[in-house]
Chains A and B, each alone.
Chain A
Amino acid sequence: SAVISQKPSRDICQRGTSLTIQCQVDSQVTMMFWYRQQPGQSLTLIATANQGSEATYESGFVIDKFPISRPNLTFSTLTVSNMSPEDSSIYLCSGYQGADGTDTQYFGPGTRLTVL
């Protein structure tokens, strides 16, 4: 199974600033995803991070607010731009492995973001 790390693990930010979250996978994965999990809620998919091209965003999420990069098969970043207190959430990245037959998404430890 893939092992996924995220940085930072948590942060407290001021309104109007931006934060970039990094996601590193220890092996090549077919797909990478970014999720938001608001307190007490289930996971909501923000976007699919595509290697070498623009991310595919879900309804309600836009590139200007959540720019995503994926320069190679093992690394991706998510930026939360112009933050407001409503952006306070856990942000999780995941990697999907299919080539090895597991067909499973593995998750990073998450980034707990608090916006004041």
Chain B
Amino acid sequence: AQKVTQAQTEISVVEKEDVTLDCVYETRDTTYYLFWYKQPPSGELVFLIRRNSFDEQNEISGRYSWNFQKSTSSFNFTITASQVVDSAVYFCALSELDSNYQLIWGAGTKLIIKP
């Protein structure tokens, strides 16, 4: 059965530290998409990245980077030199090819960046 696990409920770091948010997924499909979304305290969900199952290249966008490893079914998210504005809940999600575009959500990781 499909599932997304974000084992870290809450992470607290001091500003400028690097932090990695873990995401482990389960699926029987060979074609699927993985996503990360950010939900700041204001509540809106902000799309960060989509990765398809055939593209294992790591991605870097500014201070954000993503490590996709099919061998371990993981799609981890690293923030380098964290800032207070990075404080939010981060969700990892999975979409399978035949799922009518529905997303399977992880429980979310609350990230607190202390000044």
Number of interface residues of A (CB under 8 A): 24
CB <8 Å contact, B47 and A109: no
CB <8 Å contact, B101 and A105: yes
Q: Which residues of B contact A42 (CB under 8 A)?
A: 91, 105-108
Instruction: Report the minimum CB–CB distance from A29 to chain B (whole Å).
Output: 10
Q: Which secondary structure dominates chain A's binding surface?
A: strand
Docked complex: A1-17 residues within 8 A CB-CB of B: 1
CB <8 Å contact, A43 and B44: no
A interface, CB within 8 angstroms of B: 1, 30-31, 33, 41-43, 45, 48, 90, 92, 94, 96, 98, 102-110, 112
B interface, CB within 8 angstroms of A: 33, 35, 37, 42-47, 50, 52, 91, 95, 100-103, 105-108
The 9 A-B pairs with the shortest beta carbon distances in the complex, nearest first, are A107-B45, A109-B44, A110-B43, A96-B101, A42-B105, A42-B107, A31-B101, A43-B105, A104-B50
